């Protein structure tokens, strides 16, 4: 079962990817994890990626694809995987399709978690983070016991810059420009499946499980 997760920032694709990985005993693969693992192990690909990251530059598509393709050859990914946060662009998607074909395999599904922009802005705007221990809350879904204070250490909770409406709007604009075209790409390949991401987390997973046939 080889899956790509799609959806705008804050849609919950990372959360669902982890649940899928656990339920179906396949690895949850994100580019961030791949970068960290390769850098920690000092691989050639990791050293190349670190050069760009240390400069604050984006890692080139070609290198990202090489890192992902290498990860997909690991033993734990033999029976499947769920990719989270990759591909982000059409060139990356095309390179992934080519790499899988060279490996003698192909994707089974591209699952898009659909959430309107306004919902995302409201959802992320409700997030709060502890300034000391980093614990996270949500004013509606996971509120702290005492308003503005962390349950764990009692420190102040803040709205992070990444979660401010103006920042979220910019991230959504980038998503619609660069990443949303992937929906049409995978639709053209007959792999796209869409689920409603505005419902409860367990309902989202139930819809995904129905697609996966389990």
Which tens digits make up the pLDDT trace of 98-135? 999 999 999 999 999 999 999 999 888 999 999 999 89
Residue 193 catalytic?
no
Whether 81 maps to a domain, the answer reads yes
pLDDT at 157: 96
Q: Where does the pLDDT of residue 214 fall: very low under 50, low under 70, confident under 90, or very high at 90 and above? A: low
Instruction: Give the pLDDT score at 185.
Output: 96
Q: How far is CA 13 from CA 145, 179, 201, in A?
A: 27, 14, 10
| pTM for the model | 0.83
Out of 13, 48, 71, 193, pick the active-site residue: 13
Domain-embedded: residue 171: no
- Please confirm, yes or no, whether 169 is among the known catalytic residues: no
Whether residue 159 is contained in a domain is answered as no
Looking at the structure of the chain, the number of domains it has is 1
- For residue 48, the model assigns a pLDDT of 87
- pLDDT mean across residues, the chain: 91
Q: Is residue 21 part of a domain?
A: yes
Among the options 18, 50, 88, 149, which is catalytic? 88
Residue numbers of the domain that contains 13: 2-116+179-212
Query: Torsion over CA of 131, 29, 57 and 98, rounded to 10 degrees?
Result: -160
Report yes or no: 47 and 54 within 8 Å, Cβ to Cβ.
Answer: no
Segment 60-104, tens digit of pLDDT: 888 889 889 989 999 999 889 999 989 989 999 999 999 999 999
Choosing from 152, 160, 169, 170, the catalytic residue is 160
Decide if pLDDT at 35 tops 90: no
Domain assignment present for 17: yes
Packed helices 44-54 and 31-41: angle between N→C axes, nearest 10 degrees: 110
Alpha-carbon distance 88 to 64, whole Å? 11
13 catalytic residue (yes or no): yes
Tell me whether residue 36 is one of the annotated catalytic residues. no
């Amino acid at each position: 079962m080889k899956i790509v997760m799609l959806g705008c920032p804050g849609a919950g694709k990372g959360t669902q990817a982890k649940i899928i990985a656990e339920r179906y005993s396949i690895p949850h693969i994100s580019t961030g994890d791949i970068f960290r693992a390769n850098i920690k192990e000092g691989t050639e690909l990791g050293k190349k990626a670190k050069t760009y990251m240390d400069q604050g530059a984006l890692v080139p598509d070609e290198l990202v694809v090489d890192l992902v393709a290498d990860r997909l050859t690991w033993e734990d990914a033999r029976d499947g995987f769920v990719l989270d946060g990759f591909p982000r662009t059409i060139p990356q998607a095309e390179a992934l399709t080519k790499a899988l074909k060279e490996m003698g395999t192909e994707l089974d599904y591209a699952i898009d978690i659909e959430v309107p922009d306004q919902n995302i802005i409201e959802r992320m705007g409700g997030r709060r983070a502890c300034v000391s221990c980093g614990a996270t809350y949500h004013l509606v879904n996971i509120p702290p016991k005492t308003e503005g204070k962390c349950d764990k250490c009692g420190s102040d909770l803040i709205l992070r810059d990444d979660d401010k409406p103006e920042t979220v709007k910019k991230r959504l604009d980038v998503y619609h420009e660069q990443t949303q075209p992937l929906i049409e790409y995978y639709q053209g390949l007959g792999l796209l499946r869409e689920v409603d991401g505005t419902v409860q987390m367990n309902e989202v997973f139930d819809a995904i499980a129905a697609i996966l046939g389990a």
